[in-house]
A and B are shown apart, each in its own frame.
Chain A
Amino acid sequence: MKKLLLLTVLSILFVLGACSSQEKADLVVTSFTDELQEPINKFEELHDVNVDLQIIPTENYTTTLRPALESGEGAPDVFTGEIVYLKDWIEQDYWANLSTDPYNVDAWEDDYMDYVWDLGKNSAGEVRAVSWQTTPGGIYYRRSIAEEVLGTDDPDEVGEMFSTMDGLMDVGEKMKEHNYRLFPDEGSIQPYTNGQDPQPWVNENNELVMTEARLSYFDYAKELRDKQYTALAPAWSPAWYESFVGPISYNVGWDELDEDAEDADKTEVFAVSLPTWGLNSVLKEEAEETSGDWAVTNGPTPYFQGGTWIGMYKDSENKDLAWEFIQMLVHDEEFLTEWVTETTGDVLSYLPVTTKISEDFSEEYLGGQNHYKFFLEEAQKIDASTITKYDQQIGELFGTEVGNYVEGNVTKEEALEEFYNQVENAFPEVTVPE
């Protein structure tokens, strides 16, 4: 009995020990998407090493990774950060300072778009993280549907129709007449509400900034819903992805749908607002079937969304290898050119490559469109000064309340008041209006 028990306990402890000290990868990279898988494969090949990519979903990314970075327990060698919490993270001592020897990245400054470079710098002027991409947004739409309903699939002409909110709603009406839906969900209109008057969520006095432009999201979202210009497929849900491939089920009951029942419970989505990386990580990834039928154009206002920065953990034991990897990812002309032109179509912030490829880029997925040129122009309009460390959480809270209003659960006033209360509750240091 005794021996048996002891043996069991010991063997389990042994297994435990074995697990915690299992064969280590040469380099551990943590990120919130799988977009780095391909560069990693390439890197493994080049250097004959074993790199472990750990993906933590965006939803849990900061809550999970942050404690590890604080304590060093289970911290990766290289990790990425999204623009919405980048501001916060570069001020913490998480990423190693790249401005010092032997990295001296300050010499690279002129190779990058200014705002991208500056965002990786902390208040002391040290570069902690770098990025390869720029992330202006636009509206991606289906060429075949544009042709059928609007009579043209030309990005400039469609962009002209999209250039005002009223224009967007007009297109929505036309789409509805043909049993299409303008957008999968109401979130696609948000960029153009805030885009009218870009302001940070929290200003330097720690005050929450509420603008008319932001408030207009309530009304536009409600309008889209009430007029049935959306397909009720919430962003990032399975239905949302499915709506880029073909018709999706649509049954709202309260609506007296056209009685020619056949397709009344199905609808197809025309367009979606997504930034540059949406092409690679959403459309190409999840909607291969409609490849070639897409194009991208401007919305009523410019905007930008997301963006991945990368750096190495300050106490990493594999800094040399980590540095090699980062260099390849953000500063290797050959690699970047190949990566972008052959697979992702992602828009780079690394100027030596963009100047080389932007003139005659042709993206097959977008029916041969040169989206590079379009997005590089849009990138000029990016004003990164509105980014704050609160963006992710406050943005989520705001989106939830707008959702409650759109669903008809609460009035606009109630939603707004609840939003203020939630912000105050989550961030006691922030003062909310009135």
Chain B
Amino acid sequence: MAKNNRRAYLFIAPFVIVFLIFNIYPIFLTFYYSLTNYSGMGGIANAEFVGISNYVRLVTDTYFYEAFLNTIQIWGFNFVVQMLIALGLALLFSDIRLKLRGVSIFRALFYLPNIITIASVALLFNILLDWNHGALNQMLLSLGLIDSPINWLNSPAYAQSAVALIGAWMWFGNSFIILLAGISGISRDYYEAALIDGANWWKSFTNITLPQLKPILLYVLITSIIGGLQLFDLPMLLTDTRGAPQGSLNTMVLYLYNQAFRYNNFGYGATLAYGLFIITVIFSAITFRTMYRREVR
């Protein structure tokens, strides 16, 4: 085992070198920028060192809190809808009494929106949801479901819901597949024993399926949180790229992008990156703790 360790260095060298240069160094560089008023133009040499004043601004920045809340709201709504559909489908398809057919076809069809470029989806819904001339309103009007067009992308509630639901539409297939795989992995014996004990469907769901599924649910939760906190493409391209209507689609990463690359506040953009990082760490820590507690039991 301990042999050949010089080769080991050689084998991990590409990883370590690239990791240091393209991962670690940019992170430190970003941290350094967060202590300056660098505009991103004319080289860092022209920037002033401003100490922690960017961080002072961060903790008092209402737009940052707003962006945080927007992100959480959109993610939360998206996650609930996505999981309800995915879990419902997974339960249906794994039910031993129903024995539904066509699993692989449905899995494929439901998964399909996942592989499509989010930027394309955002652009598509940007024109589908247009107030006066969007296909959705046109269709609802001609079906008589509404009397007047709804200005979807002008109302913060509708716009946030739209992002959440588009996200749910894109990603429920992925969760469904993962949950279905998880449920299929639960031993049949449990259910048969429960059946003999006369347990009803709900009892076996709460007493067997859910506890057995917990690790998978947590996995889905963690990946969803980390992805959700980085929400960017969809809110950016769905409206005016600045988070309209009324800043309701201004997510944390979109705010970071606009500060750094639209308004040329590299220094503050870098600070926002660290704000995002801290929030991600807090959320991940909470989830990891929950996971750890489960293992102790």
Contact = CB atoms under 8 A, between A and B. Distances in A.
* A/B contact in complex, CB under 8 angstroms: yes
B189 interface: no
Contact of A428 (B130, B154, B244, B265): B265
A66 interface: yes
B106 to A, nearest CB: 34
Interface in A247-270: 248-254
A409 B265 contact: no
A149 to B, nearest CB: 23
Interface stretch (B87-95, B141-149, B167-175, B221-229): B141-149
A59 interface: yes
Interface string A168-189: 0000000000000000000000
Given A70-B42, A426-B263, A400 B149 contact: no
Contact of A254 (B132, B148, B265): B148
Contacts of B245: 404, 409
A51 B244 CA distance: 39
Which of A59, A70, A396, A426 has most B Cβ within 10 Å? A426
A63 B246 CA distance: 23
A65 B98 CA distance: 59
Interface stretch (A232-240, A287-295, A310-318): A232-240
- Report the interface size class on chain A: 20 to 34
B135 to A, nearest CB: 12
Interface string B132-165: 1100000001000001110100110000000000
Contacts of A251: 132, 141, 148-149
Interface of B: 40-42, 57, 61-63, 130-133, 141, 147-149, 151, 154-155, 240-242, 244-246, 259, 261-263, 265, 268
Given A254-B148, A409-B245, 17 more contacts: A67-B40, A232-B132, A233-B132, A237-B133, A249-B132, A251-B149, A252-B149, A253-B148, A253-B149, A396-B242, A400-B242, A404-B246, A409-B154, A409-B155, A410-B246, A421-B63, A428-B265
24 contacts: A63-B261, A63-B262, A66-B41, A67-B40, A232-B131, A232-B132, A237-B133, A248-B133, A249-B132, A251-B132, A251-B141, A251-B148, A252-B148, A253-B147, A253-B148, A254-B148, A393-B263, A400-B242, A409-B155, A410-B246, A421-B63, A426-B265, A427-B263, A428-B265
